[in-house]
């Protein structure tokens, strides 16, 4: 029956793609896997979309590609949550927001996938790089690797050619700019996340795009493979921007990897979901002695033209908060012995903190409360037997 979701089979990699515009991006990633000899039977693709999108065509695409997968619009997400006994937590996944990648995390958690991969639909893999194979090798990496730190406790993931292009990625605090970079070598033996970086359109915030002279949301300055010569980790006690457009991770990090609730909130804050989740992830890694691997595989980011001012509208309400939330994160979870323990301490400090000195400071309290709910939701899913989503009426 066309449109009937497939439940996970023998695959161990859950590929989460939030999409309303270009679900066909999956074809390029599956083709890349086959070109490089990566076993596509290992993949289970989860397309997270909306009720107004053509889910039947998306399911037909997965069947045509011969890969396991399922398509979740808003109706199917609600059904899946209800059938798995966590319908009360539906608020954790905002509608029509990139932050709905959190649903993919819940699905991965419930079905016990050991690995997850986030892919944005406006990206494509580099033909000369084994996308999935490289990510999984990074997650299993053991050896010496470049380690980067700065006197501002922040590392610009574009640092390698920053003297020429001058770029700082979306989410990098303005107060941490003009940092002094320190490069050393570290022994790496427990990688839990692999962040692939991006060529073509850099991932910048709207203010930086405007200063780069671009009104179409893309930035005039572009990046190439030459800007990413060395893979690296970020030193303990330092933070980095984590972008979910090209990211692989181990299941164990999910409790400390909630994609924060953006867009659908009374404060109008958007576009910091993956950035703030990356803060929790990095703090948990530091506490637990884990690492985030950065560099390859690269993807090509082909961000569609749109008003830079539209992005600015989504970001401006959270810009001041972004300058300070990491300071809360940095002081939390030091005595924890699990990802959930680190995340819970951070969440409580956010939920109970007084952030009235900042514009929209109450949004941080909101994020803390939602993160506590996130942890409760994961606990509830752990205690249930996951099911496939029910078919919406009339879909056959």
Q: Quick: pLDDT tens for 224-255.
A: 999 999 999 999 999 999 999 999 999 999 99
Name the average pLDDT for the chain.
94
Share of the chain above pLDDT 70, in %: 94
DSSP string, 128-194: TS-HHHHHHHHHT--EEEEEEEETTSEE-TTGGGHHHH----TT--GGG-SPPEEEEEEEE--EEEE
For residues 364 and 109, give the distance between their C-alpha atoms in angstroms, rounded to a whole number. 25
* Cα separation of the two ends of the chain: 6
- Residues listed for the chain: 396
Judge whether residue 392 has pLDDT over 50: no
**Cβ–Cβ contacts within 10 Å for residue 144, how many?**
9
Share of the chain above pLDDT 90, in %: 92
Q: What is the pTM of this model?
A: 0.94
pLDDT in tens, 264-321: 899 999 999 999 999 999 999 999 999 999 999 999 999 999 999 999 999 999 999 9
Judge whether residue 9 has pLDDT over 60: no
Confidence of residue 137 (pLDDT cuts 50, 70, 90): very high
pLDDT in tens, 25-36: 999 999 999 999
Return the pLDDT at 382. 84
Q: How far is CA 214 from the centre of its chain?
A: 25
Q: What is the mean pLDDT of residues 145-173?
A: 97
Return the pLDDT at 264. 87
Burial of 96 per CB tally in 10 Å (0-12, 13-18, 19+): middle
Judge whether residue 96 has pLDDT over 90: no
pLDDT in tens, 199-225: 999 999 999 999 998 999 999 999 999
Alpha-helix runs per DSSP H in the chain: 25-35, 55-65, 74-83, 101-110, 131-139, 162-165, 206-211, 273-288, 308-316, 319-322, 325-330, 339-352, 362-382
């Amino acid at each position: 029956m066309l449109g009937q979701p497939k439940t996970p089979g023998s695959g161990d990699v859950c590929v989460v793609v939030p999409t309303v515009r270009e679900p066909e991006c999956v074809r390029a990633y599956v083709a890349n896997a086959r070109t490089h000899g990566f076993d596509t039977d290992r993949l289970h693709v989860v397309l997270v979309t909306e009720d107004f999108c053509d889910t039947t065509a998306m399911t037909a695409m997965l069947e045509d590609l011969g890969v396991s997968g399922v398509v979740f619009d808003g109706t199917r997400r609600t059904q899946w949550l209800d059938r798995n006994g966590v319908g009360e937590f539906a608020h954790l996944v905002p509608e029509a927001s990139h932050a709905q990648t959190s649903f993919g995390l819940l699905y991965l958690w419930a079905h016990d996938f050991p690995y997850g991969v986030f892919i944005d639909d406006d990206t494509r893999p580099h033909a000369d790089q084994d996308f999935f194979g490289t990510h999984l090798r990074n997650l299993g990496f053991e050896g010496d690797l470049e380690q980067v730190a700065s006197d501002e406790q922040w590392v610009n993931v574009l640092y390698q050619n920053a003297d020429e292009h001058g770029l700082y990625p979306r989410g990098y605090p303005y107060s941490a700019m003009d940092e002094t970079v320190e490069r050393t070598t570290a022994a790496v033996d427990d990688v839990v996340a692999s962040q692939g970086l991006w060529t073509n359109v850099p991932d910048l915030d709207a203010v930086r795009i405007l200063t780069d002279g671009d009104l179409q949301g893309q930035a005039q300055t572009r990046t190439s493979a030459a800007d990413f010569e060395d893979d690296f980790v970020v030193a303990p006690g330092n933070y980095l921007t984590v972008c979910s457009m090209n990211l692989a991770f181990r299941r164990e990090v999910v409790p400390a990897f909630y994609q924060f609730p953006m867009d659908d909130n009374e404060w109008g804050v958007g576009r910091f979901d993956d950035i703030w989740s990356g803060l929790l992830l990095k703090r948990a890694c530091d506490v637990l002695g884990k690492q985030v691997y950065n560099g390859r595989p690269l993807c090509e980011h082909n961000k569609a033209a749109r008003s830079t001012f539209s992005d600015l509208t989504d970001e401006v309400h959270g810009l001041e908060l972004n300058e300070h939330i990491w300071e809360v994160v940095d002081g939390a979870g030091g005595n924890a012995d699990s990802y959930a323990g680190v995340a819970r301490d951070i969440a409580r400090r956010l939920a109970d903190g007084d952030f009235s000195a900042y514009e929209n400071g109450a949004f941080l309290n909101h994020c803390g409360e939602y993160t506590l709910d996130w942890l409760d939701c994961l606990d509830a899913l752990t205690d249930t037997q996951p099911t496939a989503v029910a078919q919406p009426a009339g879909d056959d």
